[in-house]
Chains A and B, each alone.
Chain A
Amino acid sequence: MVPPRSAGQEFWAGVGALAPLLVGVAPFGMIYGVLALASGLSPTAALLMSSILFAGSAQFLFCQLVGAGAPVAVVVAEVGLLNLRHALYSAALAPHLAHLPRRWKLALAYLLTDEAFAAISRREAAGQSGPRQHWFYLGAGLALWGGWQLATAAGVLLGARLPAGWPLDFALPLTFIAIVVPLVRDRAMLLAAAVAGLIALTAAGLPFKLGLLAAALAGMAAGWWAVEKIR
Chain B
Amino acid sequence: MSVWLTMVVCGLLTFALRLSFIAAEGRVIFPRWFRVVLPFVPVATLTALVAPDLLMPHGALWLSWSNARLMAGLVAIAIAAVTRSVLWTLLGGFAALALGSAAMG
Query: Which A residues contact B (CB, under 8 angstroms)?
Result: 24, 27-28, 31, 41, 45, 48-49, 52-55, 57-58, 61-62, 64, 66, 72, 75-76, 78-91, 93-95, 97-98, 105-106, 108-110, 112, 167, 170-184, 188-189, 192-193, 195-201, 204, 211-212, 215-224, 227-228
Contact = CB atoms under 8 A, between A and B. Distances in A.
Most chain-B Cβ atoms within 10 A of its Cβ — which of A80, A196, A215, A222? A196
9 contacts: A31-B86, A45-B4, A58-B14, A83-B14, A181-B80, A204-B56, A220-B40, A220-B41, A223-B39
Contacts of B72: 170
B104 interface: no
Closest 6 CB pairs of A and B: A219-B44, A223-B40, A215-B48, A197-B51, A181-B80, A52-B11
Interface residues of B, number: 68
Given A174-B76, A174-B90, A48 B47 contact: no
B20 interface: yes
Interface of B: 2-11, 13-15, 17-28, 30, 33, 35-56, 59, 61, 69, 72-73, 76-77, 80-81, 84-87, 89-90, 93-94, 97, 101
Main secondary structure of the interface of B (DSSP, over half): helix
Given A179-B86, A181-B77, A204-B52, A192 B46 contact: no
B4 to A, nearest CB: 7
A172 B19 CA distance: 29
Given A82-B45, A183-B42, A193-B43, A201 B90 contact: no
Given A110-B19, A174-B90, A176-B49, 17 more contacts: A54-B11, A83-B14, A90-B20, A106-B19, A110-B15, A170-B53, A173-B49, A173-B50, A174-B93, A177-B93, A178-B89, A189-B40, A193-B47, A196-B47, A201-B55, A216-B41, A220-B40
